[in-house]
Amino acid sequence: MLMLKNTPFFIIAMCAVVVASNFLVQFPVQAQIGGINLADILTWGAFTYPLAFLVTDLTNRRFGKSQARIVVFSGFIIAVALSIWLATPRIAIASGCAFLFAQMLDVSIFDRLRASAWWKAPFISTLLGSILDTVLFFGIAFAPMFGFLDFGGQDGSLGFAVPFLGIGADAPLWLSLAVGDFTVKILVGLAMLFPYRLVIKTPATI
């Protein structure tokens, strides 16, 4: 597997992941498993967004934290601009805030754990980054208290009650979506350790 000589590929990859995730998060997964309605707990964006952490971590491992931050900032600027076109302003704001803070946390934690076992830096940084990302994104995008960010349009809040995770006592829909989304993010993040390991084992060419 060829490692690229510079970061433009990673910037493009980051933008593609975030824009796709901003769009897909608006669509619940219409399926049932064991009597649980996945539409109450999960959106399609949960399956694509963890790739952002993979892009950040590979950039950090290959080029260092300074270049990783450049990829994060570049992805933030371009992806938010495109997200305003593809999604609602509120989704774009939520995504931008969550993305920037979560990815910068990921960069910092990864750098601190760089010398640890190969899996610790990507896994722990992704875990903590995903927690922050989930709280910020779903809180801002769907909690009723941030409804003013819809700027006079149709309120996109998801504060109405549904069974928590499809099976528990009633809770706001956005909370169930956040927990379901976080669970999938961690599962996908674990799966991303495999391609991460393959890439870092491949000799780089500069």
Alpha-helical (H) ranges within 30-172 are: 45-48, 50-63, 65-86, 89-112, 120-142
Q: Quick one: pLDDT band at residue 22, thresholds 50, 70, 90?
A: confident
Does position 58 have pLDDT exceeding 60, yes or no? yes
**C-alpha angle 94-100-103 in degrees, rounded to nearest 5:** 125
Three-state DSSP class for residue 144: helix
Q: Which helix (H) or strand (E) holds 33?
A: strand 32-33
Full-model pTM: 0.84
Output the CATH code of domain 8-201.
1.10.1760
What span, in angstroms and rounded, lies between the C-alpha atoms of 142 and 17?
A: 21
Does position 26 have pLDDT exceeding 90, yes or no? no
Does position 206 have pLDDT exceeding 60, yes or no? no
Residue 19 identity (one-letter amino acid): V
**What are the tens digits of pLDDT across the range 172-203?**
888 888 888 898 889 999 999 998 998 887 65
| Residue-range domain boundaries for the chain | 8-201
Nearest to 194 by CA among 58, 17, 46, 21: 58
Does position 39 have pLDDT exceeding 80, yes or no? no
- The string of DSSP codes covering 73-100 is HHHHHHHHHHHHHHS-HHHHHHHHHHHH
Nearest to 24 by CA among 98, 87, 77, 84: 87
| Average pLDDT across the chain, whole number | 84
Does position 204 have pLDDT exceeding 60, yes or no? no
pLDDT score at 166: 63
pLDDT score at 40: 67
Q: Select, from the ranges 4-8, 16-20, 62-66, the one with the highest average predicted confidence (pLDDT).
A: 62-66
Residue 189: both structure tokens together: 């993040």
What span, in angstroms and rounded, lies between the C-alpha atoms of 16 and 22?
A: 10
Three-state DSSP class for residue 131: helix
What span, in angstroms and rounded, lies between the C-alpha atoms of 10 and 7?
A: 5
Q: Which helix (H) or strand (E) holds 20?
A: helix 8-24
pLDDT score at 1: 36
Give percent of the chain with pLDDT exceeding 90. Answer: 33
Q: How far is CA 13 from the centre of its chain?
A: 13
**What are the tens digits of pLDDT across the range 88-104?**
888 888 878 988 999 99
**What are the tens digits of pLDDT across the range 118-175?**
999 999 999 999 999 999 989 998 899 888 888 767 778 888 887 776 676 788 888 8
Average pLDDT (56-75) is 91
94: left (phi over 0), alpha (psi -120 to 50) or beta: alpha
